[in-house]
Amino acid sequence: MAKRRSRLEDDEDDDNSGCEAGDVPASAHAWGREPWPGKLQAILDALEIDALDDGSRLYLQRQLHIGSLFDQDRTGHLVMTLRCITESEGNDGALTERYIRAVSGAIGPYADRGLALIEAFDQISLVGIFEQMRALEYFYEKEATDALERILRHKLRRALDPTAPEPAPPPTKQERLAAAKARAAAARLATVERNIDLGRRMAALRDLTPCNKKFGRLRAQQFDFPQRESAEMLRVARMYGERPEFYRITTWPVLVELSGAIPDSCRLAFERRIQSGEAVKANEIAAARRAAAT
């Protein structure tokens, strides 16, 4: 008895049929086989389009096939794509794959505008735009269709939605760096303000609890931080908690070092430098503190 071939084996044969050297035949793709050529031909007949290159046919058939995978009928989109080219003035020579792809990608947001969309292409010379792009060496060959599509999107937006704002240009390197610094500064300030607020609450608890043992127990119950971090928060809050004009312009490690065991004259010198806008680091203060201790 002959062994029945599985559907998987049939699919593998279909997939492997295009692996030989040379051009891949259209029939190797699902959209190259019926019913898609017939469906496209019906559209072309209705629009009285007699000649269409093979690349354009495969692209349009693929659009119909992909739509079917998502239960979508893309016939209307294809009809509008072809009408924008064939029924607009001056675009007689643009019925090729490059222009069809670009127009198809650009008209999406305006597909419901009907005749107004087609009339917008009266002011758009597809071949002329492409020749200008070529003369300006605006693109690599592989980028030609995408570049043309972007240009068409801008032109259609100005023609059909003139009140829409122009898309913002991408940020420059300097703007990206400035934005990154702003985010870092905001995160730094949030950390400082959170820790000082916790320190204030610990200080209030400490003032109400003179007994060290009882305070330690209550602190552990109410604040989920190690003892060292809690002591730093409390110390910074007592020294700088009422000086937002100062703690808002520096970092938490700097505040921890400044509130530690450091001579007043040394601390004041560092505070003056920070207030003048100088970038003082915590390790610099720590080194000065160790030097003063020796």
Neighbours of 242 (CB within 10 A): 12
What gap in Å lies between CA 153 and CA 150, rounded to an integer?
Answer: 5
The string of pLDDT tens digits covering residues 34-70 is 899 999 999 999 999 988 999 999 999 999 999 999 9
Q: Would the pTM of this model clear 0.85, i.e. be above it?
A: no
Contact residues for 55 (Cβ-Cβ < 8 A; gap 6+): 96, 97
pLDDT confidence of residue 23: 53
What gap in Å lies between CA 292 and CA 252, rounded to an integer?
Answer: 22
Angle at 68 between CA 67 and CA 74, to 5 degrees: 40
The string of pLDDT tens digits covering residues 225-243 is 888 888 889 899 998 888 9
Cβ proximity of 76 and 99 under 8 Å? no
Which residue spans within 44-135 are E strands per DSSP?
none
- Euclidean distance between the first and the last CA atom of the chain, given in angstroms as a whole number: 98
Task: Name the token pair of 218.
Answer: 């209550």
Cβ proximity of 113 and 160 under 8 Å? yes
